[in-house]
Copies of this chain bind each other. A is one copy, B any other.
């Protein structure tokens, strides 16, 4: 599609989703309360083990556009000044980071305005490692979510639903982002899956890859539906293998710069 067509398509898509956003917001309060109760229950049963779901990052960390996502300049130096400070130049969507609704909308919720109760919530992990081994652009499908529910019970309202594709183990290698011939290739969510999660009342999705949509996506269908409907996403999660499919509570340390579209976050879980 030409750029103008993409823009028109997006605008039309946005209009039709405003009603969805409104209904989503309306159920938000009840969902939030239910999520909190569930998080509390899960925490009460936890072992107290903290798992860090965040990659440490620097200018070599893989990015979607292939350019360094952070640069650091020492502007105060301990040897000379008695303490040290760096000036950081950060492109928001770098490292383990948040996609706020504002990332893919004209006027959606900024990262600073995400509801705090949606940043501490039950974590449900959907393991698609088996199919991602054979398909570098594998997707979490509606059937994967249904299978998770059959095995683990209902997904709590207000939950974070994360994809574990096994990709975190490749983070230092070129295949985290590309096939050997340079094409994008990494797993993500399908729109049919996130549409179901909207119905269920999940608050956020997370992926252990560079994008909520798979690498070969041409239309960014999940970015253009999940985010505009008032949800948020987490990209480049680490260490999901250290957690059970259900029962963990995630703490999403989203950055809080005003009017931000997202940014590097500290994400941890207690199990």
> Using a CB–CB distance below 8 Å, which chain A residues touch chain B?
6-7, 10, 36-37, 39-40, 43-44, 46-52, 54-58, 70, 72, 75, 78-80, 82-93, 95-96, 102-106, 112-113, 116-117, 119-120, 223, 251-261, 263-268, 270
In the complex, the answer to whether A266 meets B270 with C-beta atoms within 8 Å is no
Known: A57-B258, A103-B83, A257-B72. A251 touches B263 (CB 8 A): no
Known: A50-B119, A105-B78. A88 touches B257 (CB 8 A): yes
Q: Which residues of B contact A267 (CB under 8 A)?
A: 253
Q: Which residues of B contact A89 (CB under 8 A)?
A: 87-89
Number of copies: 2
Instruction: Say which residue of B86, B103, B256 sits within 8 Å of A84 (CB atoms).
Output: B103
In the complex, the answer to whether B48 meets A36 with C-beta atoms within 8 Å is yes
In the complex, the answer to whether A257 meets B251 with C-beta atoms within 8 Å is no
In the complex, the answer to whether B52 meets A116 with C-beta atoms within 8 Å is yes
Query: How distant is the Cα of A120 from the Cα of B46 in the complex, in angstroms?
Result: 13
Instruction: Say which residue of B36, B84, B93, B255 sits within 8 Å of A264 (CB atoms).
Output: B255
